[in-house]
Amino acid sequence: MTKAILSKAAHAAAMLGLCVGLAGCLTARATASTDLEPLVSALTDPVDDLRDRAETGQAGAQYAMAVLHAYGVRGVTPDPDQAAVLRRRALAARGYTPITTYIAGLRGKPGRVAIINTPRYELNAVQALRADQCAAALARGDQSPAAVEACAGLAEFGRLEALWAEAKTGR
């Protein structure tokens, strides 16, 4: 009887692990594609529109302009210093979200509620890193499996490669 219960529990745990693992894989692909949105924006949105939005503080546009300045594509003059400034601004916190947490009291003393202010970001460092890796691969003309994975898979890589080739012509 005990063996049967343990077997059912082990089976349930294994199934739960499989489901969580598969969900993680599906989420990773969607996230990788979503993380490239600022790069896609750099390659498709009008440069003047990106510049205006970057000046108003929109993180995605700031990152997109950083890419254009870093690689000198779409008619933007290469300027590594300006690219670094824009990238830093894009990754800066956009305010704070207060979170409350209860801290239990010790030795019979009452507990208390503490407020923790967590920074809020429009674009985080992981998103920027994924987009940076893809942009670097595109700039090098790298078609290796690592480059394809950095650009969220074969279909997205092909689309981004075509956009990058067009961007190099200055359009």
* Structural domain boundaries in the chain: 35-91+123-168
Parallel, antiparallel, or unpaired for β 112-119 and 96-103? antiparallel
Give the CB-side neighbour count of residue 127, counting CA atoms within 13 A.
21
For range 13-35, the mean pLDDT: 49
pLDDT exceeds 50 at position 68: yes
pTM, rounded to two decimals: 0.72
Q: What are phi and psi of 48, to 5 degrees?
A: -65, -40
Q: What is the pLDDT of residue 137?
A: 93
For range 117-137, the mean pLDDT: 90
For range 57-77, the mean pLDDT: 93
Percentage of the chain surpassing pLDDT 70?
A: 80
For range 145-160, the mean pLDDT: 90
